[in-house]
Amino acid sequence: MLPLAGDFESVEDVRAFRTALRGWYRTHRRDLPWRRSRDPYAIWISEVMLQQTTVATVAPRWERFLRSFPTLERLAGASEEEVMAAWSGLGYYSRARNLHAAARAIARGGRFPSTSASLQKLPGFGPYTAAAVASIAFGERVAAVDTNVERLLSRYLGVVGSEGRRSRLRRAAAALVPPARAGDHNQAMMELGATVCRPARPSCGECPLAPGCSARRAADPARFDLPRGSRRPRQVTLEAGLARRRGRLVLVPDLEMVRGHLTLPCTAVEEAGQPGAALGRRWPELAGRTARRVRSLGRISHSVLDRRYTVHLFAVEEGDRSAARPLVTLVRPERVPTLARGSFLDKALSLSAEEEQGTEKRARSATGKGSTSPSGAAAAPAPGPPPPGAAPRRPTG
């Protein structure tokens, strides 16, 4: 006997929904690397990475992470610094900390929990992640309901209003899960929501569920979307300094953007202040040296959760030791990719590299120096490699 929710009038309605969805998924499913695995550890890593991060970004990072930590035991035995370094650039770093803590808890327990209820006792396992892992890896008959599934069902069933809405959608999702291949069903629901029943410009003409969809009949899918809570972004202005000692970058623990990372020394400032003045004054306590000179390198836009950063980057020429003894790490530029760091540091190094190349080009133009070709025209100098540690992407966005 199939479980029924009030939104489905008969067993035939549920079966028709499942059949249409299963046929579409068999033909249109994306070939994603984690879908070729039934290893609960590998599936879990993919589900955590996919939270708030696009599939295109996750695919190569998932494979790289598993090369670094091929088993749960390897992850559990790693240091937090190693895990954070492997996670760098994916954002939402509490995910990495919870992942590490849960791996250690599972390793202590001796086996990977196989039910949604038992998984939810671990750090970082909410109802969705627990249901996804339990259904895909172990076949548990439980609905994995993410925002894609909520949107799909809300539109299909024509659900409006906020009171009891999520509970109603979860009951409907549970009614649809088949007794066999629950994991494939859950992935099909998420796939359809992500690729066809999209938040903006859904492809209703390509949807296998269109004949029974309330939103399609109303010709207004957005009317049935769940209201999204919006938090006003917080604007933060910083000054950050890029300095080198004996050819090594001066880095400090990140106390502003992401805990557990290394970053450039920085300080919050008011937009109206003299550029670089606050950074120069605070450099002795930030980096343990005086600042002889600060020179502007440009501006970087960066976002972390609800914070929108405007960072004015300066090259700092250091002077004598100060009385302060902050925690400073000196890093060779070529070692930067191995560090636990956020994308802000990559942006800063990229901006610095561009500025240095521009300065060299202007200097050559001003002096008129350079070799000449046989025709007498000045030959363009061969471009050298970018400074070690510079990231390839531009420092905007």
Q: Are 148 and 197 in contact (CB under 8 A)?
A: yes
Query: Is residue 190 a contact partner of residue 153, using CB atoms and an 8 Å limit?
Result: no
pLDDT, position 4: 44
pLDDT at 221: 92
- The SS3 call for residue 121 is coil
DSSP 178: -
Torsion of CA 71, 77, 82, 88, to 10 degrees: 50
Rounded to an integer, what is the distance from CA 285 to the centroid of its chain? 32
Query: What is the mean pLDDT of each successive set of 10 residues along the chain, which is 397 residues long?
Result: 54 92 96 95 97 90 96 95 87 89 96 97 96 97 96 93 87 94 97 95 95 92 80 88 95 85 90 84 94 94 88 95 91 89 90 83 70 42 43 40
Pairing label, strands 307-321, 244-245:
unpaired
Q: Which of 9, 12, 47, 140 is catalytic?
A: 47
**Phi, psi torsion values for 348, nearest 5 degrees:** -65, -45
- The pLDDT assigned to 230 comes to 62
The pLDDT score that the predictor gives to residue 255 is 84
Alpha-helix runs per DSSP H in 69-93:
72-77, 80-87
Please enumerate, as own/partner, the contacts of 193-200 that have beta carbons within 8 Å and a separation of 24 or more: 193/146, 193/147, 193/148, 193/149, 193/151, 193/152, 194/55, 194/148, 195/28, 195/30, 197/148, 197/151, 197/152, 197/155, 197/221, 199/151, 199/225
The string of pLDDT tens digits covering residues 41-54 is 999 999 999 998 88
The widest CA-to-CA distance across the chain, in whole angstroms, is: 89
DSSP code string of 226-239? PPPP--PPEEEEEE
HSE-CB for 116 with a 13 A CA cutoff: 18
pLDDT of 55-78, one tens digit each?
999 999 999 999 999 999 999 999
Parallel/antiparallel/unpaired status of strands 248-253 and 262-263: antiparallel
Q: Which amino acid is at 10?
A: S
Q: Which domains does the chain have, with CATH numbers?
A: 11-224 (1.10.340.30), 236-367 (3.90.79.10)
- What pLDDT is recorded for position 369? 55
C-alpha distances in Å from residue 194, one per residue of 31, 55, 176, 207: 14, 10, 18, 12
DSSP alpha helix (H) spans, the chain: 11-28, 40-49, 55-68, 72-77, 80-87, 94-109, 116-119, 127-138, 147-157, 165-176, 182-195, 214-218, 277-287, 343-367
Distance CA 264, CA 121 (A): 37
Q: Cα–chain-centroid distance for residue 369?
A: 46
Please confirm, yes or no, whether 47 is among the known catalytic residues: yes
**In 10 A of CB 73, how many CB atoms?**
14
- Those residues whose C-beta lies under 8 Å from the C-beta of residue 182, and which sit 6 or more positions away, are 135, 139, 140, 141, 142
Give the C-alpha separation, 199 to 150, whole Å. Answer: 11
**Contact of 153 with 133, CB cutoff 8 Å:** no
First to last CA, the chain: 53
